[in-house]
Amino acid sequence: MTQPVAIAFKETDPEGFATQSGRIALIVGGDGKLGQAGRKLDRAMKGAIKRAVDSEAFAGLGAGEAMELSWPAAIAAEAVQLVRLDRKASADEARKAGAAIGAKLGEAGALVVAQNHPRAADLSLGLALRAYRFNYHTGEDKKAYGPVTIMVDKPEEVAAAAAPHAALAEGVFFTRDLVNEPANILTTDDFAARLAAMQELGLDVEILEEEDMKKLGMGALLGVGMGSEMPSKLVVMQWKGGEEGEAPFALVGKGVVFDAGGISLKPGAGMEEMTMDMGGAGVVSGVMRTLALRKAKANVVGLVGLVENMPDGRAQRPGDIVTSMKGDTIEVINTDAEGRLVLADVLWYAQDRFQPKAMVNLATLTGAVIVALGHENAGLFANDDKFVADILKAAKTEGEGAWHMPLQPAYDKALKSRLADMRNVGNRWGGAITAAAFLKRFVKDEVPWCHIDIAGVALPPGETTLAPKGPTGWGVRMLDRLIRDKFEA
């Protein structure tokens, strides 16, 4: 997998500025004060930093934004980046500042002069998250990013604060790598094997094959994969870091490794991006990796349903009726509404086996949520107002956009079937909500639950603050924060 850039923390020492190769980034507050190390660097550059900081261009920078002095005279560095960040900056602003540095990082690495800035640890996370590059399938030169040294006045203290961020960055990168992989590489077999390999980190990983799921009555999930040569699988990952015997927090992810739509075939334009339809399973996997790496003091179980939705002579047809593990029958009106069928059985299995104290599922479920919220927010649907408030708080803390959507009983009537207990789609109106209403039927009333539709945020059309163009890993940071705040001992 892609590894985050190596970051070391070192005590502030301005003596080597003149001979420092690569890039230098200097953190400067809005007041323009450079600090002792900044003044030393300014002297080496014949006053160029002071002139830049006094300019209208620097004054026009927002928090976390940067300006660049390229190929400065009198020092060896190829560029000096002036990054505006006040001492009272928020964690979000500090991560944005780090991302500004990470976006410019090259093979020569960088020296970041943060001195006594109180947000240096958050800055390091933003830098690590932005310095991501997935180039396993190109003929390009694959030189790695050079190392980063962050100069701070108390390096041991800052390194300790940043240690959990390293685990978080690796979890996010694991998710991004999974979403980036094409479906001929990330088959259901390969996906399951990558998750099984995390047993080395201390996770208990169990893989249920099709025969196992048939015995459990998972007709909804198994119906989706009938047209594929790839076997459907259910992977269960357990992290047991909390009290022995304590009920776990459950994460459930949709893992459709490729979605052609089945017999209800999708249009050809843009179908190549349907390799990302396992984004929910990718997030669950990234969170579980993070928890294992940082030895979280919580019991968490992650379950992902891995399938491929293809058209074939054996494929599920519109009009078919399948029986879920719960026992409810479902009339399949549209085979391209497959993710909810996968989740229905995995949600029921999670509750039946683990009796979780709360449960979240994530899925790139509907285009309708993108129509409603664009690419800025994921849609949250829940059966418990307090639980969803905790999730929204965690999302806000981590700077991941989320919006609480309605889920009134009135939406249920759109799922009424003449021939079965329900149909898998409603009408064209409120499609993201009726999809959530479908899932709610497979959640027990006593289990606090939230469905998160990440279709708009998993793979936005352009770069974001903390990620280059491509998958964002949205949700790994939020869920790790939620677990820290609400489920750790």
Give 232's DSSP letter: P
DSSP string, 102-133: HTT--TT-EEEEEET-TTHHHHHHHHHHHS--
- Amino acid sitting at position 164: P
Contact between 318 and 332 under an 8 Å Cβ cutoff? The reply is: yes
Contact between 216 and 324 under an 8 Å Cβ cutoff? The reply is: no
How many separate helices (H) and strands (E) can be counted in the chain? 15, 17
Nearest to 94 by CA among 22, 13, 174, 152: 152
- d(CA 82, CA 73) in angstroms, rounded, equals 16
- d(CA 455, CA 434) in angstroms, rounded, equals 15
Beta sheet of 110-115, edge-to-edge order: 7-11, 148-152, 110-115, 23-28, 79-84, 66-70
- d(CA 185, CA 191) in angstroms, rounded, equals 9
Query: Which listed residue (95, 119, 340, 477) is catalytic?
Result: 340
Task: Please tell me whether residue 151 adopts helix, strand or coil conformation.
Answer: strand
Q: What is the bridge-based pairing of β-strands 66-70 and 79-84?
A: antiparallel
Nearest to 337 by CA among 439, 271, 424: 424
Q: Token match 């976006």: residue?
A: 103
Let me know if 40 is a catalytic residue: no
Provide the angle, in degrees to the nearest 10, between the axes of the packed helices 476-486 and 279-293.
Answer: 50
Contacts of 374 (CB under 8 A, 6+ apart): 456
Q: Token match 């064209």: residue?
A: 428
Query: Which listed residue (50, 240, 266, 357) is catalytic?
Result: 266
Task: Please tell me whether residue 272 adopts helix, strand or coil conformation.
Answer: helix
- d(CA 475, CA 399) in angstroms, rounded, equals 10
Let me know if 266 is a catalytic residue: yes
Number of neighbouring beta carbons within 10 Å of residue 71: 9
Annotated catalytic residues are 266, 340
